[in-house]
Structure 1
Amino acid sequence: MNSLVGAALFVAPLLVLVAIWAIVVPLFNVNPRIFPSVGSVAEAAVAAIGDGSLIRHIGASMLRVGLGTFLGVLVAVPLGIAMGVSPAVSAFLTPLFRFFSVLAGIAWIPIATLWFGYGFGAIIFVIFNAVFFVVAYNTLLGVSTIPMTIRNAAASLGAGRWALLTEVLLPGALPNIVTGVRTGLGFAWRGLIAAEMIATNVGLGYMLFVARDFYRTEVIVLGMIVIGVLWLFIDRLLLVPLERATIERWGLVRRT
């Protein structure tokens, strides 16, 4: 019952927004080239689903963001742990991370297209950059918060480097890592849409870009809705439960 109430409260503002949209557009006779009606967007959705184009765009975007995020996390977590364990590595890399963190994501699109061309590689590179720095920095924070007394206690009980990594450092940093993944994935999603407008011929960003050229505002709004709904599904069904499970697992909060 609590879950149903929570879901209803979450969806209610979105339904109110749609209702306002359905009333205001015909009431003020808004030009469809400026903003479409609810009906025209629904018709565009039916047409895009019917010809399979929407599924192709969604599939291409999800594949890119999934692979780019996976590669970013795969590289960022070990590096973040190394920075948290070694003060020398942390002192050397922290200025670089602070410099490149503001450039992560969209700022890399022009040079990514020069390096990898217009296509899959450039987009994956942009997503990788959007995820990598956020996850690595959060991993560093997570490892840094583990008291030295716990590390020394594990070592005194016979824990080797591998046991210290897998049973102390990685579990202790896991809540911060998950938070970093959640934040980085949000940056990756925005970088993905921007990159797809420039560097590919399929994907949700490309769908928005092409629709603009033909003044098809109903397709643009449809793409915006799909992007938002996909992110809500990813966030609410995957990231939030994962974040809660890791935080509760290590006693940072208690389930009510």
Structure 2
Amino acid sequence: MTRFRAFFTAIRNNLFALVLFLVAWAAASLFFPPYIVPSPLAVLRETPVYFQPAMLHHLFVTLYRVSVGFVIAVCGGTLLAIIAAPLRKTAQLTTLMSLFEVLPGMIVGIIFLLIFGLGHGVPIGLVAFLTLPAIAINTSGGLAKKNRLLEDYLRSIGGTRRHILRNIYLPVLVPTLQSNLTMGFSQALKIVILGEFIGSQDGIGYLLNVAKIYFNMNAVFFHLSIVLLFMLVFQVTQQLLFLLCLGKYFYAE
């Protein structure tokens, strides 16, 4: 029962954040002309104009690129942190990842454009390359919080590697993984749109680029709203999955 209460609380918080965004958007539209900040109602009225069958293609392309790049980043960053922890190389890994994290996305995108050309390569490569450092740093920080006294105690009473993994590492890694998913997916969405903006002929970023060329701010805000809905659906889905399947690890303490 506690898990479902936490889930509905998370839904309420996400919806509250969405309402705050809409209120801020509506307030901003009162102070700026429509060709700069159109009102939410004006964008909503034009939804049938933008939400055509071709739009679904662009949505699925963006979702595919985000998913592939994000999976690479999460798996790679988590694996690097797990390998570095027992080797006592966490500090070196964090320093290295921090160096990669400050690289400008635009510069990296241009390099990837020269390497991969137009298509999936630039957005997916940008997501994987620019999101992985944050995942690795966050996972390393989570692993650093594990209870070493408990680990020594388990070893002293004959605990195996399986017991140490289940009772020490999983209670630390599961909340860290959820934090990585929340932080990383929002970052991945922004990065993939940047990649599509730089070097792609489809996807939400491409549509934003076209809307920018024609100075169609209604289309710009419509596509930005789609991105926000992506993030909201992902947040609710991952919170439900964690609470149902791995909820016990959030109450380990």
TM surpasses 0.5: yes
Structure 1 residues 235-250: aligned runs within 5 Å:
235=235, 237-241=236-240, 249-250=249-250
Query: 1:69·1:131 contact (CA, 8 Å) conserved in 2?
Result: yes
C-alpha change, 1:212 and 1:250, in structure 2 (3 Å) is closer
Query: 1:143·1:169 contact (CA, 8 Å) conserved in 2?
Result: yes
Query: 1:105·1:188 contact (CA, 8 Å) conserved in 2?
Result: no
Equivalent residue letter for 1:180: N
Q: In structure 1, how many angstroms separate the alpha carbons of the residues matched to 2:17 and 2:141?
A: 31
Q: In structure 1, how many angstroms separate the alpha carbons of the residues matched to 2:191 and 2:124?
A: 10
Q: In structure 2, how many angstroms separate the alpha carbons of the residues matched to 1:13 and 1:131?
A: 27
C-alpha change, 1:81 and 1:106, in structure 2 (3 Å) is farther
2:201 equivalent in structure 1:
201
Equivalent residue letter for 1:227: V
RMSD: 3.2
C-alpha change, 1:209 and 1:15, in structure 2 (3 Å) is closer
State TM-score, norm by structure 2: 0.80
Q: In structure 2, how many angstroms separate the alpha carbons of the residues matched to 1:66 and 1:171?
A: 26
1:13 equivalent in structure 2:
20
Equivalent residue letter for 1:13: L
Query: 1:126·1:191 contact (CA, 8 Å) conserved in 2?
Result: yes
| 1:206-251 Cα shifts (integer Å, max 9, x gaps) | 101011222322211211121122222222x134446667676342
Higher mean alpha-carbon deviation, 242-251 vs 175-184, is at 242-251
Higher mean alpha-carbon deviation, 166-175 vs 225-234, is at 166-175
Unaligned runs of 5+ in 2: none
Q: In structure 2, how many angstroms separate the alpha carbons of the residues matched to 1:247 and 1:177?
A: 13
Q: In structure 2, how many angstroms separate the alpha carbons of the residues matched to 1:14 and 1:91?
A: 38
C-alpha change, 1:100 and 1:129, in structure 2 (3 Å) is same
| 1:102-144 Cα shifts (integer Å, max 9, x gaps) | 2275552122212222221221111112321111112111221
Deviation at 1:14, TM superposition (A): 4.7
Q: In structure 2, how many angstroms separate the alpha carbons of the residues matched to 1:108 and 1:170?
A: 34
1:219 equivalent in structure 2:
219
1:59 equivalent in structure 2:
60
Query: 2:138·2:176 contact (CA, 8 Å) conserved in 1?
Result: yes
Query: 2:97·2:134 contact (CA, 8 Å) conserved in 1?
Result: no
Deviation at 1:163, TM superposition (A): 5.0
Structure 1 residues 1-256: aligned runs within 5 Å:
3=8, 6=12, 9-10=16-17, 12-14=19-21, 16-17=23-24, 20=27, 24=30, 30=33, 33-36=35-38, 41-49=43-51, 51-87=52-88, 89-103=89-103, 105=105, 107-161=107-161, 164-165=164-165, 167-235=167-235, 237-241=236-240, 249-251=249-251
| 1:22-46 Cα shifts (integer Å, max 9, x gaps) | 7x48xx8x4x544445565335420
SS state at 2:85 partner = helix
Query: 2:143·2:172 contact (CA, 8 Å) conserved in 1?
Result: yes
| 1:167-225 Cα shifts (integer Å, max 9, x gaps) | 53233222123212221222111111111111111111110101122232221121112
Deviation at 1:19, TM superposition (A): 5.4
Higher mean alpha-carbon deviation, 3-12 vs 39-48, is at 3-12
Equivalent residue letter for 1:79: L
Q: In structure 2, how many angstroms separate the alpha carbons of the residues matched to 1:106 and 1:252?
A: 42
Equivalent residue letter for 1:47: V
Query: 1:138·1:180 contact (CA, 8 Å) conserved in 2?
Result: yes
| 1:15-66 Cα shifts (integer Å, max 9, x gaps) | 54565577x48xx8x4x544445565335420232x3122112111111111
C-alpha change, 1:191 and 1:12, in structure 2 (3 Å) is closer
Equivalent residue letter for 1:126: L
State TM-score, norm by structure 1: 0.79
Equivalent residue letter for 1:78: L
